[in-house]
């Protein structure tokens, strides 16, 4: 009898524990709003990006010293595990990521509670935003000018500003390279979008604010699907041929490294 009583009590205890654990994992109970932070961990072919000092060799046999890596990300949307998509407010959805200025993390506020599985964002500035004119750009226009991400208002934004010096088998003295990519009015639209599955779900609620770490591989700019050889052309700014190739490469820079779930800040 005592044995049966013990088993009965043990059964009740295990059931209670299971129910408790299940409720902790039950994201349907998530309520309110939270924030999602995104860290852009800039690197080069698996190494950390260190400006001005370290040299990186690409598959073209060119040895690069990188002095600047700055790019615009925009138009964020998040998709949850039920297929619902939250579109971040457009006027607040433009950010400059700059290794030089140590701007490598952004925060999206007011995200509805949910269990998010996917993120989508743009690289650059879309035509709808550009066609709002200078008045429609708000504070972002001034920030872009400060970060050297403008040619001029009429010419538009630089979506990517990648600069430094290089040597190669045929270029033996350190030579400056400049890769500036963007759209030019409505005639050459190089805005592109990236969609990434998070792998680990980002859990958002009034008490949960995840941090998504994106690995960013600057090697892809020259060495993505399209091969850009600096020895052939070291300065590329407005190019109907190569700018679209670079814009496609730029979308390949991004991958999800890991997701931190929890309250407060995580690094």
Residue 162 has pLDDT above 80, yes or no: yes
Query: Cβ of 47: how many Cβ atoms within 10 Å?
Result: 12
Cβ pair 223, 59 in contact under 8 A: yes
Q: How confident is the model at residue 28 (pLDDT cuts 50, 70, 90)?
A: low
Residue 144 has pLDDT above 90, yes or no: yes
Residue 179 has pLDDT above 50, yes or no: yes
Length of the chain: 267
pLDDT, one tens digit per residue, over 228-250 is 999 999 999 988 899 999 999 99
pLDDT, one tens digit per residue, over 120-131 is 999 999 999 998
Residue at token pair 């698996």: 46
- Once rounded to an integer, what is the mean pLDDT over residues 50-54? 93
Query: Cβ of 264: how many Cβ atoms within 10 Å?
Result: 8
Instruction: Of 9-13, 163-167, 173-177, give the lowest mean pLDDT range.
Output: 9-13
What is the reported pTM? 0.87
Residue 23 has pLDDT above 50, yes or no: no
Q: What is the per-residue pLDDT for 149?
A: 96
Residue 1 has pLDDT above 80, yes or no: no
- C-alpha to C-alpha distance for 18 and 23, rounded to whole angstroms: 9
DSSP labels, 54-75: -EEE-TTS-EEEEEEEEEEEEE
Q: Which residues pair with 60 in a beta bridge?
A: none
Q: Which residues pair with 73 in a beta bridge?
A: 95, 123
Spell out the residues 6+ positions from residue 72 whose beta carbon is closer than 8 angstroms to its own: 94, 95, 96, 97, 123, 124, 125, 144, 149, 157, 158, 159, 160
Average pLDDT of the chain is 88
pLDDT, one tens digit per residue, over 254-266 is 999 999 998 754 4
Which run of H or E residues covers position 7?
helix 2-25
Burial class (CB in 10 A: 0-12, 13-18, 19+), 232: exposed
- Once rounded to an integer, what is the mean pLDDT over residues 133-146? 91
Residue 224 has pLDDT above 80, yes or no: yes
- Cα dist from 16 to 12, 24, 128, whole Å: 6, 12, 54
Q: How confident is the model at residue 42 (pLDDT cuts 50, 70, 90)?
A: very high
Could you say which DSSP state residue 89 is in?
A: P
pLDDT, one tens digit per residue, over 74-87 is 999 999 999 999 99
Closest by alpha carbon to 249, among 228, 225, 231? 225
Spell out the residues 6+ positions from residue 27 whose beta carbon is closer than 8 angstroms to its own: 81, 114, 115, 201, 203
Spell out the residues 6+ positions from residue 49 whose beta carbon is closer than 8 angstroms to its own: 42, 43, 66, 69, 99, 218
- C-alpha to C-alpha distance for 169 and 229, rounded to whole angstroms: 12
Residue 24 has pLDDT above 70, yes or no: no
């Amino acid at each position: 009898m005592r044995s049966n009583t013990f088993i009965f009590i043990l059964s009740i205890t295990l059931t209670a524990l299971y129910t408790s654990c299940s409720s902790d994992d039950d994201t349907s109970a998530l309520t309110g709003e939270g924030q999602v932070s995104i860290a852009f961990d800039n690197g080069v072919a698996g190494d950390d990006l260190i400006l001005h000092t370290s040299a990186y060799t690409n598959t073209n046999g060119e040895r690069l010293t990188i002095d600047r890596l700055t790019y615009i990300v925009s138009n964020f949307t998040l998709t949850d595990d039920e297929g619902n998509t939250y579109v971040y407010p457009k006027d607040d959805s433009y950010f400059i990521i700059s290794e030089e200025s140590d701007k490598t993390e952004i925060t999206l506020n007011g995200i509805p509670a949910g269990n998010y599985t996917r993120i989508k964002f743009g690289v650059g500035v879309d035509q709808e935003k550009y066609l709002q004119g200078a008045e429609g750009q708000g504070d972002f226009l001034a920030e872009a000018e400060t970060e050297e991400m403008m040619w001029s208002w009429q010419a538009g934004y630089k979506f990517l500003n990648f600069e430094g010096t290089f040597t190669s088998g045929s270029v033996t003295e350190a030579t400056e390279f400049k890769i500036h990519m963007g759209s030019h009015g409505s005639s050459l639209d190089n805005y592109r979008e990236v969609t990434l599955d998070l792998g680990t779900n980002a859990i958002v609620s009034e008490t949960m604010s995840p941090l998504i770490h994106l690995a960013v591989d600057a090697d892809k700019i020259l060495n993505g699907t399209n091969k850009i050889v600096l020895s052939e052309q070291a300065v590329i700014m407005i190019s109907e041929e190569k700018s679209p190739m670079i814009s496609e490469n730029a979308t390949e820079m991004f991958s999800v490294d890991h997701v931190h779930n929890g309250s407060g800040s995580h690094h």
